[in-house]
């Protein structure tokens, strides 16, 4: 594993982080507590220090609770990141008011309790609250930085305009957005602005939500409760097209002696981002970590971009309700 500073003034962390949504059952199907614990311990042992979770993972903070229980004496060895403000109603609509200062403080205290810690190293606004000026939300976060309850501020899925407004109130350390060979939209505006402001870009779902990890070949590979069943990229002809794209990347990866996932992660590292792949399997966590140490020629990345150019993936990033919760103004 390699390590570098998260953004211009952030903490030093592993260049590949661990996305802990998969440690809780729900979004990506089932996982037992023992499987989740084994996977998380494997990630820690493999050198991951950037650990990313959220208060909604597992529906009731299950991911945070497992992390808090398992970390124990290793708490100071990691950059612990969590998020607030992503709760949705039964229709998938973002609940209003989650960016209000009073909610920010309550949400943090609840996360600290579940994580069994006195501070969060990186605290993200999960989704922009359209009913609250981002300046008010970041102002509350800045007060929590001053109180020592959080070390750094992060934003997730926001526009360049929102990022600039937030950054003017208090320096933003990291911005998190979906980014992978299948989702290259951030290259147009948000990544250049992050570079301008010295904000680390954290890439979630860096393996195309599993397609580039080789775990999804067809509808039968998704459990009935799996969130991806409602995602346009995993439906019908779209899924077949995207699996075909992944197969072409797999052929390229095999020619370089690596897996498809390792090549995709190495490409993201080559672009200066911090990918945070998630997995329910300890072996995958170990394999993903090795992407940080690969020494691939730039031609491999150029060929990857030829195989999967911007817009090649079939289907939208998410369904209508999902996309409505993303700040694109």
**3 catalytic residue (yes or no):** no
d(C-alpha 70, C-alpha 48), whole Å: 14
Q: Which helix (H) or strand (E) holds 154?
A: strand 150-156
C-alpha 138: how far from its chain's center? 20
How far apart, in Å, do the first and last CA atoms of the chain sit? 37
Report the alpha-carbon distance of residue 220 to residue 45 in Å, rounded.
33
What token pair was written down for 58?
A: 């597992």
Nearest C-alpha neighbor of 181 from the set 200, 203, 208, 148: 208
Instruction: Reduce the DSSP state of residue 316 to 3 states and report it.
Output: coil
Q: Which residues contact 38 (CB under 8 A, 6 or more apart)?
A: 282
The residue behind tokens 């350390």 is 173
Distance CA(77)–CA(65), nearest Å, equals: 18
The catalytic position among 28, 48, 57, 204 is: 57
Task: Please count the helices (runs of H) and the strands (runs of E) in the chain.
Answer: 11, 10
Mind telling me the catalytic residues?
A: 57
């Amino acid at each position: 594993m390699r390590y570098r500073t998260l953004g211009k003034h952030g903490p030093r962390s592993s260049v590949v982080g661990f996305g802990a949504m998969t440690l809780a059952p729900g979004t990506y199907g089932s996982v037992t507590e023992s499987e989740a614990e084994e996977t998380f311990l494997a990630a820690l042992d493999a050198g991951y220090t950037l650990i990313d979770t959220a208060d909604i993972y597992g529906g009731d903070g299950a991911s945070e609770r497992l992390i808090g229980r398992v970390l124990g004496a290793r708490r100071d060895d990691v950059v612990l990141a969590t998020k607030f403000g992503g709760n949705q109603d039964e229709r998938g609509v973002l609940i209003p008011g989650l960016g209000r200062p009073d909610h920010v403080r309550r949400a943090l205290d609840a996360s600290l309790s579940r994580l069994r810690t006195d501070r969060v190293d990186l605290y993200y606004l999960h989704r922009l609250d359209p009913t609250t000026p981002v300046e008010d939300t970041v102002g509350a976060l800045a007060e929590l930085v001053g109180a020592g309850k959080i070390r750094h501020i992060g934003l997730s899925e926001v526009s360049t305009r929102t990022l600039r407004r937030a950054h003017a109130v208090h320096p933003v350390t990291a911005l998190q957005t979906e980014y992978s060979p299948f989702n290259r939209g951030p290259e147009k505006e948000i990544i250049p602005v992050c570079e301008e402001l010295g904000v680390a870009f954290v890439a979630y779902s860096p393996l195309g939500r599993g397609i580039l990890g080789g775990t999804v070949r067809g509808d039968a590979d998704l459990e009935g409760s799996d969130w991806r069943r409602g995602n346009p990229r995993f439906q019908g002809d779209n899924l077949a097209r995207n699996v075909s794209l992944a197969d072409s990347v797999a052929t390229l990866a095999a020619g370089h002696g690596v897996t498809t996932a390792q090549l995709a992660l190495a490409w993201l590292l080559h672009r200066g981002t911090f990918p945070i792949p998630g997995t329910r399997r300890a072996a995958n966590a170990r394999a993903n970590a090795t992407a940080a140490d690969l020494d691939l020629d730039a031609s491999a990345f150029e060929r990857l971009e030829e195989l999967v150019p911007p817009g090649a993936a079939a289907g939208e990033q998410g369904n209508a309700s999902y996309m409505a919760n993303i700040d694109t103004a």
